[in-house]
A = this chain, B = another copy of it.
Amino acid sequence: MIHFDCDYMAGAHPEVLDAIVKNNLVQTAGYGSDNFCARAKDLIREACGTPEAAVHFMVGGTQTNSTVLDGILGRIDGVIAAETGHINVHEAGAVELFGHKVIALPSHDGKLCPAEVRDYLHDFYADDTNEHMVAPGAVYISFPSELGTLYSLGELEQLNAVCHEYDIPLYIDGARLGHGLAASPDVTLPDIARLADVFYIGGTKMGALFGEAVVCTRKSLLPRFFPLMKAHGAVLAKGRLLGMQFEALFSNDLYLRIGRHAVGLAQRLRKTLEDKGFKSFINSPTNQQFFVLPNEVIDRIQALATFEYWGPRGEIESRVRFVTSWETTEQDIAQLEELL
């Protein structure tokens, strides 16, 4: 059986796991104050081109989103997100648990429209009853989006401009950042670091056992962040594990190699599917592929492969999602293609 359910089904990429194994008996201080973390932060700052940025490591994505947003938002501010945004849909209300409303704007294949964000902010400040409303205190986007789509460099620049016009930070959820960067024709990691005020570099879905690296280029946004992380339960005692993994991910170009590998296989699969006449229902350049398949095809490939079923489309077709990752092999794809 081969698996295309998601990009976090196996353990860690061998180069990441090796870092943990080979340093297992080294003893260090806890809570991230070790040299592995220090080196990993330096590598990340270097890759981002932001020598002054603060870097913080956390364990998982929901934890990272709710902790960072709780840090950058005013006490009762809300955060603008696409209706399909992970924080609005699949984090069990973590943002609200800490007192913040998710202000949901329309999703355009998973993306916010910069002009709509500007209109929302304009209307909010033009409304003289806005002291009775939730103030928008940040903008949240995902790169790539939850639907595998990508903002262009121009769109990111527009979002950055809107945020700066209204003096609120732009926060980018990079759970699959490496897949996005590998697929984007124009956006680089330094672009992300330049255009976001805070973002995170996802590890869990990019070959780590776990771990996300928050990069904050405007340090004043997250003052005294360690105690906030601690209170959120987001500090790992053996923080070194995060340092070791990100050191590996940002050595020898591994982070982008993983992205290119997964995206390359996904695009190969996409081409095969299209060549066979199947239609995608979301046009995704990244490692997630969304296709409408005849139910009979689905039945046939389910004997060999697992993937996400997204519901029927009419009587004889259904929507499905295939995800590739560092674990996926050329052979996995070939096997799947044979059955299509």
Q: CB within 8 Å of B: which residues of A? A: 3, 5-6, 8-12, 14, 17, 20-21, 23-30, 59-64, 66-67, 70-71, 74-76, 78, 89-94, 96-102, 104, 129, 131-135, 204-205, 209-210, 224, 226-228, 230-238, 240-241, 327
- Asked if B78 and A75 sit within 8 Å, CB to CB, the answer is no
Q: Give the residues in chain B near A9, CB-CB below 8 Å.
A: 27-30
A241 to chain B, nearest CB (A): 6
Known: A9-B30, A11-B240. 9 other contacts (CB 8 A): A5-B29, A9-B28, A17-B20, A17-B24, A66-B231, A76-B97, A89-B133, A92-B231, A134-B227
In the complex the two chains form, is A94's CB within 8 Å of B231's CB?
yes
Contact, CB under 8 Å: B24 / A231? no
Most buried by B among A10, A210, A227: A227
Smallest beta-carbon distance A227→chain B, Å: 5
Q: Which residue of B lies closest to A8 (CB)?
A: B237
Check if B230 sits within 8 Å of A94, measured CB to CB. yes
Complex CA distance for A233 and B75, rounded to whole angstroms = 15
**A209 touching B231 in the complex, CB below 8 Å, given contacts A10-B27, A30-B6, A99-B97:** no
Q: Are B91 and A96 in contact (CB under 8 A)?
A: no
Cα distance A255–B134 in the bound complex, in angstroms: 33
> Would A233 and B94 count as touching, CB distance under 8 A?
yes
Quick one: closest B residue to A16, CB to CB? B24
Bound Cα distance from A240 to B71, whole angstroms: 30
Q: Residue A327 contacts which of B23, B27, B234 (CB distance < 8 angstroms)?
A: B27
Contacts of A11 in B (CB 8 A): 20, 23-26, 238, 240-241
